[in-house]
A = this chain, B = another copy of it.
Amino acid sequence: MGKYVYFFGGDKADGNASMKNLLGGKGSNLAEMAGLGIPVPPGFTISTEVCTYYDREEGKYPQGLEEEVNANLRKVEELMGARFGDPENPLLVSVRSGARVSMPGMMDTVLNLGLNDDTVKGLIAKTENPRMAYDSYRRFVQMYANVVMGVKGDSFEKLLRAKKEERGVKDDTELTADDLKELVPKFKAVVREKAGEDFPTTPRKQLWGAIGAVFRSWDTPRAVAYRQINAIPDDWGTAVNVQAMVFGNMGNSSATGVAFTRDPATGENRFFGEFLVNAQGEDVVAGIRTPHPINIGQKAEGSELTSLEEEMPEIYGQLVDIYEKLEAHYTDMQDIEFTIQEGKLYMLQTRTGKRTGFAAIRIAVDMVEEGLIDEKEALKRVEPVHLLQLLAPVFEGKAKEEAVKEGKLLAVGLNAGPGAACGRVVFSAEKAVAMAGAGERVILTRTETSPEDISGMAKAVGILTSTGGTTSHAAVVARGMGKSCVVGCGALHIDYASGTITVRDEVIKEGDYVSIDGTTGEVILGELPTIPSEVIQVLIQKTKAPEESKVYQQFSKLLSWADESRRLGVRANADTPDDAAAALNFGAEGIGLVRTEHMFFEGKRIDAVREMILAEDSEGRKKALGKILPMQKEDFVGIFDVMEGLPVTIRFLDPPLHEFLPHSDREIEELARQMGVEAGKLKKKVASLREANPMLGHRGCRLGIAYPEITEMQARAILEAACELIKKGKKVEPEIMIPLVAHVNELRGQKEIVDRVAKEVAEKYGVAIDYKVGTMVELPRAALTADKVAQEAEFFSFGTNDLTQTTFGLSRDDAGTFLPMYVERRILPFDPFQSIDTDGVGALMKIGVEKGRATRPDLKVGICGEHGGEPNSVAFCHEIGLDYVSCSPYRVPIARLAAARANL
């Protein structure tokens, strides 16, 4: 027979961290700490093999296990100077489950095992605290009965309540030692009644009961279901950890505390924590007593309470040694728990500490500089989305906290665009433009937004909608613009007619101030001051010098390491020279998507666009397009100029033409008046363009095929812009992207037009233009026939928004009624509009890449959907061999980091 039980404690251990499969996560970590010479309460781990045996043999233990347990228990007794069941000096233990991976659904913990009517007296003698002893005893009975014997907690709670009523008190803490002592037999009576057997009185019986309960908990329905969902094999099993209890409440030489090896909020390299003398762990967390700072440095921040460093300098010194050893060993910031029992320090737990985005970056960069980790490891330590926190504007100081305290939190919606924003409520894009023009900050507030709201969204400081999900039009555009955005805030009843928002009894009028936090989804009444983040002050606003901002320097350093480590290129989606400039500042290596339709809405252009739509024939359309040409050319000159020779992928007009026309009778009549056309004619045109499913309608390249004049104008604008810059000696790399191609013939025809125009333009300007023509792969058919499409396409760019819509047969605009329910019920593991559905959409992408490159081995392939800035999707793009991802400028740093992590 093999070895089943592994000891740890007294600076020694049978196991170590590498033995997770055998000892589980918790057991191997305790062994590791003990092996490092860290003082942990001694104990032992019964291996996962025993669990497997127990399972297979239906509740039997392997031969020899009992002897091993006894032998190890003796070692614990020796080290603790106490004995299991000894009425004078009792050893108490905890029993915990611990599988390879942490797994909810299994038995968690039984504390203070070993207590009975005899040993409780020993505990009183040792702690001189009868109240604590009886409280521990009645808790132990309750906990054991619950997790080992299956007796529900409510019977015990009822007794507790009755006792409080009897005593005329409100809180448990007001019950005396005698009160609690009286409860113990009552609790045991409940156990007898409910479980049909007596509560075990001998510690050894208690111990084996708990061990069996841990092993049985491996097969509870909840645990089995969790394993199924998370693909955890049934035969891994769990280990059992039996560990001596230590007490921080054995008088004034005892204490308990928690600490972080670095500041979890800022990442500053300083030991940081809290403790309480003569207390148990839960007292520190519960907030009944105010914890003391752990050291003098921390005390300097304003606390008047004595620090551990002052109170127990020797122990503090040990703790410092230990935390340094732990951090050096685990090479990451640790979150530790410790207890001091009668002047002896025990480490109860160490684990990687949770931290803010700010802290994550600082710790990673500092640790590289300290030589603790290398740069690759630093990249692994920072979650890409952490970076967003460094970029988003913030509410200043404590203002928000106070507002919330004052009851000004109106509602919490979906956090669709991170950052804080504050402004006056407006209900229309026009009003937003007007008020912003007058110097006001505005929050554009709509039930939902549409492309016609773009100008207003651009002028607003924040966008707030009552409907739509995190991939609704409002959310997508807001993120693209880097605006604070809260969507789907159903609690807000927006009434355009009366110009009000009603929330419960509160009525907010147009012009009133609201503050929204797109990082949290909070909507707060009133004006809260916001400031741009430090990184933005340096990178975009240039109001702060890089050398003044430590945060910026670390951000920048981390990303430079990321750039060295990644294979995948990172571009940005940008529609204006300003966006392009921001993209460059964020480290974009090109523009992966210029959406030209946004340009069609701006200012006077919409008039010419509408004139084109209403034209009777090709000549009429050409005339109207002629008016747009110079304006559109200027757009491209601006973007090319900023990008200085980096590739710029421009997508031809994509949305159906009806998006450029108004829809209500009133609006149509007004437009007809403006344009000097008959209202009836305009209405007819609007009606004729109406579509049952615009998403699947006359849009994308289908427009350019029906109206080649549009393709020709756009090609001319792009290529003439390129030539103008080339003539000035600048480099330009335009990539013309034909949208919504389903069949190679569509692309072929559009490419012919572009090539013809290119020839004409090159002759006119007398220069050579180096341009490419490619396509957006956004329909399943394009991916499935990528070998044929690549005969014409010089590049692919996956339009994963539309590809997801068509692959799932799911409209992003309409998914709000059921998709959240799907994700909530785990019918879908996640929202496929947020992260690429690798099984379905991803399968098409793989087919697209493989077939495309089979025809054209050097085919450049990218992605320009919203997914291009989402870390898991970036990793998938890396995996299937894409050349680059493109995302909104603010997401470029995220993509750079995600790309590097994917390549590690």
Residues of A within 8 A of B (CB): 691-698, 700, 702, 705-706, 740, 742-743, 745-746, 749, 778-781, 784-785, 788, 802, 805-811, 813-814, 817-818, 821-822, 826-828, 837, 839-841, 843-844
Contact = CB atoms under 8 A, between A and B. Distances in A.
B843 A742 contact: no
A785 B839 contact: yes
Given A745-B828, A780-B809, 5 more contacts: A696-B696, A742-B807, A780-B807, A781-B841, A802-B809
A376 to B, nearest CB: 35
Contact of A807 (B702, B706, B781): B781
A743 B746 CA distance: 31
Contact of A695 (B692, B745, B817): B692
Given A818-B705, A827-B745, A827-B746, A697 B806 contact: no
Contacts of A841: 781
Contacts of A780: 780, 806-807, 809, 840, 844
Nearest to A742: B808
B843 A785 contact: yes
A840 B785 contact: yes
A700 B742 CA distance: 25
A698 B815 CA distance: 7
Contacts of A693: 693-696, 811, 813-814
A192 B266 CA distance: 95
25 contacts: A691-B811, A692-B695, A692-B813, A693-B811, A694-B814, A696-B805, A696-B810, A697-B817, A698-B818, A705-B818, A705-B821, A706-B817, A742-B808, A745-B826, A745-B827, A746-B827, A749-B827, A780-B806, A780-B809, A780-B840, A781-B808, A784-B807, A784-B840, A806-B806, A806-B807
User: 3 tightest A-B contacts by CB?
Assistant: A696-B811, A781-B840, A693-B811
Given A809-B696, A814-B692, A784 B844 contact: yes
Contacts of A828: 743, 745
Nearest to A450: B692
Contacts of A691: 811, 813-814
Given A696-B695, A788-B839, A807 B779 contact: yes
A694 B696 contact: no
A636 B742 CA distance: 40
A826 B744 CA distance: 12
A765 B158 CA distance: 45
A781 B841 CA distance: 7
B705 A809 contact: no
A784 to B, nearest CB: 5
A705 B706 CA distance: 40
Nearest to A448: B692
A789 to B, nearest CB: 11
A154 to B, nearest CB: 28
Contact of A809 (B740, B749, B822, B840): B740
A788 B698 CA distance: 34
A179 to B, nearest CB: 46
A695, A705, A784, A788 — most chain B CB neighbours (10 Å): A784
Contacts of A697: 811, 814, 817
Contact of A779 (B809, B811, B839): B809
Contacts of A822: 705
A785 B839 CA distance: 7
Nearest to A779: B809
A355 B808 CA distance: 46
A814 B746 contact: no
A705 B821 CA distance: 9
A317 to B, nearest CB: 56
Contact of A698 (B740, B817, B839): B817
B784 A843 contact: yes
A810 B742 contact: yes
A352 B809 CA distance: 47
Nearest to A843: B784
Contacts of A695: 692-693, 696, 809, 811
A855 B730 CA distance: 58
A813 B780 CA distance: 19
A561 to B, nearest CB: 37
Contacts of A837: 781
A784 B839 contact: yes
A743 B827 contact: yes
A822 B807 CA distance: 23
A802, A814, A844 — most chain B CB neighbours (10 Å): A814
Contacts of A843: 784-785
A780 B780 CA distance: 7
A696 B840 CA distance: 16
A653 to B, nearest CB: 15
Contacts of A743: 827-828, 840
A811 B779 CA distance: 13
Given A705-B827, A785-B839, A844-B784, A696 B807 contact: no
A697 B811 CA distance: 6
Nearest to A695: B693
Contacts of A814: 691-694, 696-698
Contacts of A696: 693, 695-696, 805, 809-811, 814
B785 A742 contact: no
A706, A808, A837 — most chain B CB neighbours (10 Å): A808
Contact of A692 (B700, B779, B811, B821): B811
A843 B694 CA distance: 26
A821 B746 CA distance: 12
Contacts of A817: 697-698, 706
A298 B784 CA distance: 58
A821 B706 contact: yes
B784 A818 contact: no
A806 B805 CA distance: 9
Nearest to A696: B811
A742 B809 CA distance: 8
Contact of A778 (B694, B809, B826): B809
A806 B837 CA distance: 16
Nearest to A691: B814
A401 to B, nearest CB: 37
Contacts of A840: 742-743, 780-781, 784-785
A836 to B, nearest CB: 12
Nearest to A827: B745
Contacts of A844: 780, 784
Contact of A702 (B698, B742, B805, B818): B818
Contacts of A705: 818, 821-822, 827
A706, A802, A840 — most chain B CB neighbours (10 Å): A840
B818 A706 contact: yes
A696, A742, A746, A785 — most chain B CB neighbours (10 Å): A696
Contacts of A826: 745
A805 B695 CA distance: 11
Contacts of A784: 807, 839-840, 843-844
A691, A693, A818, A844 — most chain B CB neighbours (10 Å): A693
Contacts of A805: 696
A193 to B, nearest CB: 34
A900 to B, nearest CB: 30
A665 to B, nearest CB: 13
